[in-house]
Amino acid sequence: MRNILLAILIITSINCFGQEKYWEQLNQTEKNKILNNPDVVPYALKFFKGNYDLNQDSLVLDFLDKISLNKSKELLPFYYFLFIKMCKEADGYIGETLGDCCINFLLNHSNFVLKHIRQEIKNGRNDEYNYFKDNMIFEYYASDLESSYPNRPNYNDFVKILETKTNNENKILLRKLMKEVKLGALKMIEEDKK
């Protein structure tokens, strides 16, 4: 009996270890731990509390870089939650910069992002998928799919990198998303030639 309980405990630990949680899945204690973390970008807390207007601040690009280039798994649920909120609220100039953030989030946390998008689609919500698709279409249209920038690969290299980073359960969604990004960017490039 003791061996059976030990086996159950080990299996449960293995299954729970490394599982990522999203902001909406965290309990209040876990959220408070993140919100009180001294490494949280101050603008992130201001935006979260409704005291920061993305469209009125010249430092917003620095803010977006800090959250989209974040490597901390502890802060990721909060920053990703904020990023999706930004996608809903941003307009004008800020809206045009979100494609680079989408690329950064996918480069740094592809499985986290794609799993969340899959869950949203399963629940009948396509907004998040469309934010990534539309923002990356604009980003790769602006670079003609071929140009690379510091810290950002061109389209083909980006897809190759993601293919190696993405687990099998997310690859179907990844391929669909990236195919739509390419087709959308090519369509915009073609329309410019007319």
pLDDT in tens, 19-68: 689 999 999 999 999 999 999 999 999 999 999 877 776 788 888 999 99
Residue 1 covered by a domain: no
Element (H, E) at 35: helix 28-35
Residue 94: pLDDT above 60? yes
Residue 13: pLDDT above 50? no
Tens digits of per-residue pLDDT, 114-130? 999 999 999 999 999 99
Residue 18: pLDDT above 80? no
Residue 103: pLDDT above 60? yes
Sign of CA dihedral 46, 48, 50, 52: positive
Residue 152 main-chain phi, psi, to 5 deg: -140, 120
Q: CA–CA separation, 68 vs 166, rounded Å?
A: 18
Residue 4 covered by a domain: no
Residue 149 main-chain phi, psi, to 5 deg: -125, 165
Q: DSSP assignment, residue 149?
A: B
Residue 150 covered by a domain: yes
The pLDDT, as a whole number, for residue 89 is: 85
Percent of the chain with pLDDT over 70: 88
Residue 182: pLDDT above 80? yes
**Mean pLDDT calculated for residue range 133-156:** 82
b/e per residue 156-186 (b: at least 16 CB within 10 A): eebbeebeebbeeebeebbeebbebbbebbb
Residue 86 covered by a domain: yes
Instruction: Give me the domain span that covers residue 143.
Output: 22-193
Better-scored residue on pLDDT, 15 or 50: 50
Residue 8: pLDDT above 80? no
Provide the mean pLDDT of the chain.
86
Residue 5 covered by a domain: no
pTM of the predicted protein model? 0.85
The pLDDT, as a whole number, for residue 12 is: 36
pLDDT band at 148 (very low <50, low <70, confident <90, very high): low
Q: CA–CA separation, 176 vs 174, rounded Å?
A: 5
Whether 149 contacts 97, CB under 8 Å:
no
Split into its structural domains, the chain has a count of 1
